[in-house]
Structure 1
Amino acid sequence: MDWKTFQSLLSGVNKYSTAFGRIWLSIVFVFRVMVYVVAAERVWGDEQKDFDCNTKQPGCANVCYDYFFPISHIRLWALQLIFVTCPSFMVVMHVAYRDERERKYRIKHGEESKLYNNTGKKHGGLWWTYLISLFVKTAIEVSFLYILHFIYDSFYLPRLVKCEVSPCPNLVDCYIGHPTEKKVFTYFMVGASALCIVLNICEIIYLISKRVARCANKLKHRHRRSASPPTVAENRNGYDDNDHNNLKMEMTKLALPKDRPPSFMSSCKPPYRPARPTLRGEMMASAPNLSSEVLDN
């Protein structure tokens, strides 16, 4: 296995992870991958060669070793590391899918247009992908710990095992090479795996609680807006409600004509006509010295 390529692939996950995810990635690299490559492979490299039995019966040592070690620790841990890191690539592939959609959208609508504010931000489908990857990683870790516990009886490695499997002639004593050293590395790898499970659970709780808090804040904000409407109108111009109403009234006044048409009552009223002077008034106006008695006669 090319561990450098494996490490370079996993380093891309660090950009899209939370704080718990970064700690998990550091533990996987330092306490699991590095320990596996540097020390664990060498400790288990000669396990079958150092498995000695007190008999020279051909095939007895091989059959007894296969009976007590059906799956080697080192190969089981290699499978565990591969399977447990594969769900993290789901997030990287989802981000790559978003980047491709963003590129096609900009080609179609222009360079200034955006389909996502940030392709690596955990919102929408990417949030679900990240959460599902955490559940899958936790399930894989628990499954491999159960397999190791079921096969090797609580992760314990005895120094002496007794075998009576055919073709062994009778009950044969077999000795495991470097049992204490193998036991220490077994407990160390199991502890690192348990720590990764705890970090995955903490990250799941963190993501769900953060999402619930965001939804609760949105609902609370909507409830406040519906219960007590704001005094300032939320429009793009930024005017108050009173200013907006005053501006509307002024525009209505400007829209009306200055000379309004007459009403119905004023149109039905007859026009004003001055009264004509009588004959008496004309005579008094022409001869003011005449008395009223003469005018009456």
Structure 2
Amino acid sequence: MDWKTFQALLSGVNKYSTAFGRVWLSVVFVFRVMVYVVAAERVWGDEQKDFDCNTKQPGCANVCYDHFFPISHIRLWALQLIFVTCPSFMVVMHVAYRDDRERKYRAKHGDSSKLYNNTGKKHGGLWWTYLISLFVKTGIEVSFLYILHHVYESFYLPRLVKCDVSPCPNLVDCYIGHPTEKKVFTYFMVGASALCIILNICEIIYLISKRIVRIANKVKRRHRNVAVHQDNYNDDPFNNCNVPVSKLNPKERPPSFKTAYKSSYRPSGLKLEEKIRASAPNLSTTS
């Protein structure tokens, strides 16, 4: 396995990760990959050779070793590291897909046009891809911890195991090489895996809570804009539909057209009638 290529691929994930994701990558590199490459491989390198049984029966030691160690710890951890880091490449591939779409869009509409403000920003489909990758990583970590506990019945590694599998002639005592050393590394790798699970859960909570806060802020901003628009509409001088009209006192009301006509023309009519009567001869006769 080429760990340098593996490390180079995972380094590209660091650009698109959150703070919890960067801590997770640091834990994977320092506490798991480095420990695996530097120390764990050497400790488990001679496990079958140092598995010693107190019998000379041919094939008994091999059968007993396969019975108690159906899969080696070191190979199980190698598979775990490969599977647990594969979901992170989903994010890198999604960003590469966005970059390709952005390149084609600029080639078609010009360099000044943009399809994405930032292809690595976790919005839309990339947010869902990142969240799904976290769930997948957490599921893989939990699955491998369960497999390790189920296969070896616990995380504890005993010094002595008793085997009565054929072709062993009777109950045979077998001794594990470097049991204390292997026990320490087993606990260390299990603890690092548990820490990665906690970091993944924290990152899931962080992403979901941040998304909820962003949606709540958008809703508040939308309601605020609607309220401001309604206030501006009510302040419009041409919009006086809702302005209450005060009732005027009858004494304060302006005179109507008929009243003004009568008041202006009736006195002159009376004066004219009096002049006609004064100038007319008295035609009345007395009997």
Offset from partner CA, 1:230-263 (integer Å, 9 cap, x none): 6669xxxxxx977xx8xxxxxxxxxxxxxxxxxx
Offset from partner CA, 1:120-176 (integer Å, 9 cap, x none): 000000000000000000000000000001111221111000000000000000000
Q: In the aligned structure 1, how far is the partner of 2:231 from the partner of 2:122? A: 35
Aligned to 1:172: 172
Aligned to 1:257: none
Q: In the aligned structure 2, how far is the partner of 1:94 from the partner of 1:152? A: 38
Aligned to 2:149: 149
2:164 paired with 1:183: no
Aligned to 1:209: 209
**Quick one: which amino acid aligns to residue 80 of structure 1?**
Q
Cα distance, 1:222 vs structure 2: 1.3
SS in 2 for 1:162: strand
Q: In the aligned structure 2, how far is the partner of 1:118 from the partner of 1:181? A: 49
Q: Following superposition, which runs of at least 4 residues in structure 1 exceed 4 angstroms of deviation?
A: 230-233
What TM-score results when the alignment is normalised by the length of structure 1? 0.78
**Quick one: which amino acid aligns to residue 21 of structure 1?**
G
**Quick one: which amino acid aligns to residue 11 of structure 1?**
S
Q: Which stretches in structure 2 are left out of the alignment for 5+ residues? A: 239-287
SS in 2 for 1:229: helix
What TM-score results when the alignment is normalised by the length of structure 2? 0.80
**Quick one: which amino acid aligns to residue 4 of structure 1?**
K
Aligned to 1:27: 27
Cα distance, 1:210 vs structure 2: 0.2
**Quick one: which amino acid aligns to residue 223 of structure 2?**
H
2:159 paired with 1:159: yes
Q: In the aligned structure 2, how far is the partner of 1:99 from the partner of 1:64? A: 55
Aligned to 2:132: 132
Aligned to 1:6: 6
Q: In the aligned structure 2, how far is the partner of 1:117 from the partner of 1:227? A: 30
Aligned to 2:280: none
Aligned to 1:49: 49
SS in 1 for 2:229: coil
SS in 2 for 1:218: helix
Q: In the aligned structure 1, how far is the partner of 2:221 from the partner of 2:177? A: 67
**Quick one: which amino acid aligns to residue 84 of structure 1?**
V
**Quick one: which amino acid aligns to residue 212 of structure 2?**
V
Aligned to 1:256: none
